[in-house]
Amino acid sequence: MTNTENDALYLHPDRNLAMELVRATEAASIRAYPFIGRGDKLAADGAAVDAMRAFLTTVNFDGVVVIGEGEKDEAPMLFNGEHVGNGRGPACDIAVDPIDGTSLTAAGRQNALSVIAVSDRGTMLDASSVFYMDKIVTGPEGVGVIDIDRPIGDNIRALAKAKGKDVSDIKVAVLDRPRHVGLIEEIRAAGAGTRLLLDGDVAGGINAARYETRTDMCVGIGGSPEGIVTACAIKALGGLIQGRLLPKTDEERQRAIDAGLDVDRVYEADDLVRGNNTMFVATGVTDGGLVAGVRKKGPIIRTESLVLRSRSGTIRRIVADHIADKWF
C-alpha cells in the first residue's frame, strides 16, 4: 500500500472507529452503574466522565470535542475544544454526553444513556452559546411533510396521512416540563397521544425516527447540544430533525450572533451536521425504550449498545458481557 493510499484511510471516520467508540460508552455506563438510584447525579456523572475520557485516549482518531458536557450540572467535563483520542487516525468532530440523563440515573429512572456522536472535522455545528433549542423529530415519513413553523396539530395530521395511520394512533414524545403545558394540550386536542419524558430527549428523538417503536414524533424545547447529537443519529436513520435556537436573554442572543449563529433560522439535519458520514453510539445506563441498562448477573456485567452509521445506513445492537472483577 502506498503512503497516499494509507493516508486516504485516515481522512474520514470508519466502521472500526464506531466499534472502538462503543468501548468508551460501555465504560461510562458501567462506571455509572453503582450510582443508579443513589441520589447523587454529580458522582454518577463524574465516574462516567472519567471512564469515557480514559477509554477515548486509546482510540485511533484525532477528535475535537465540539459538544462537551458538564457545565449545566457543575460536573467534571469533557470540555469544548478538548482533544481526545491518541492523535492518530481520522480527524473528527465529536459530541459527548457520558450520561444523558444524570437525574434519571440518580433517581433510578428509565432512559439514561451514555452517548458519543462523531462526524468529519469541521462539520458539526457548535451551538454551545445557546442552551435551548426548539426541536421536532420524525422518521423518514416526515421528510418534506413536517414544518416546525406550522401548528403542531397540522404536523400531526400531515404525519398521520404520510404514515397511513389515524391521528388517534399517533404518539408524540415531549419532555414533561412546565414550559410544555400548552404544547401538550395542543397535541391532545389534535387527537394524538403523548409520551411524556422525564428527561433524555436524545432517546425520545431517536425512538421517533425508528420504524419499530411506538413513538411517531418528538417535539419541544430541550438542550441545543442534545439537538446536535440527535442530528447525527437522525442522519443515519434517514429521518427528519428541525430545530430553532432559543436564547433566553439578550446577552445569550448576542453570544449566539457573535458565534455566527442565526437565532431566527430553522436548522435542518444538514445544517446541524454537514455531510453524510456521521456515527452515533449509545450504551444504556438504565433500562429504556432504546436500549437496556447495565445489568449485573453474578460475575458478569451486561451492557447493550446501539451503533448507527449514516454512510453505510447500518443499525447495530451490541450486547456485551464484561467480567465484573475487571471493573469493581
SS3 145: coil
pLDDT at 69: 58
The C-alpha atoms of residue 137 and residue 186 are separated, in whole angstroms, by 17
Low pLDDT (below 70) residues in the chain? 1-15, 69-77
Instruction: Give yes or no: residues 223 and 320 share one domain.
Output: no
Q: Which domain holds residue 149?
A: 132-272
Characterize the bridge pairing of strands 113-120 and 171-175. unpaired
Residues 6+ apart with CB under 8 A from 159: 138, 141, 142, 145, 146, 170, 216, 217
pLDDT in tens, 295-323: 999 999 999 999 999 988 889 999 999 99
Instruction: Give yes or no: residues 142 and 116 share one domain.
Output: no
Last residue of a domain, one of 272, 288, 308: 272
The secondary structure of residue 129, as a DSSP letter, is T
Instruction: Give yes or no: residues 155 and 114 share one domain.
Output: no
pLDDT at 8: 44
Considering the domain boundaries, does residue 13 fall inside one?
A: yes
Instruction: Give yes or no: residues 97 and 159 share one domain.
Output: no
pLDDT at 73: 43
Split into its structural domains, the chain has a count of: 2
Instruction: Give yes or no: residues 145 and 267 share one domain.
Output: yes
Instruction: Give yes or no: residues 13 and 78 share one domain.
Output: yes
Instruction: Give yes or no: residues 10 and 25 share one domain.
Output: yes
Considering the domain boundaries, does residue 141 fall inside one?
A: yes
Considering the domain boundaries, does residue 179 fall inside one?
A: yes
The C-alpha atoms of residue 99 and residue 49 are separated, in whole angstroms, by 8
Residues 6+ apart with CB under 8 A from 281: 18, 21, 22, 24, 25, 115, 116, 117, 118, 305, 306, 307, 308
pLDDT at 25: 97
Considering the domain boundaries, does residue 127 fall inside one?
A: no
Instruction: Give yes or no: residues 250 and 299 share one domain.
Output: no
Residue 97 · residue 114 · CB < 8 Å: yes
Last residue of a domain, one of 256, 272, 288: 272
Instruction: Give yes or no: residues 7 and 118 share one domain.
Output: yes
Considering the domain boundaries, does residue 146 fall inside one?
A: yes
Instruction: Give yes or no: residues 37 and 114 share one domain.
Output: yes
Considering the domain boundaries, does residue 80 fall inside one?
A: yes
CATH of the domain at 79: 3.30.540.10
Instruction: Give yes or no: residues 106 and 213 share one domain.
Output: no
Last residue of a domain, one of 232, 256, 272: 272
CATH of the domain at 218: 3.40.190.90
pLDDT at 4: 43
Instruction: Give yes or no: residues 70 and 23 share one domain.
Output: yes
pTM of the predicted protein model = 0.88
C-alpha cell at 133: 433549542
SS (HEC) of 230-293: HHHHHHHHCCEEEEEECCCCHHHHHHHHHCCCCCCCCEEHHHHECCCCCEEEEEECCCCCCCCC
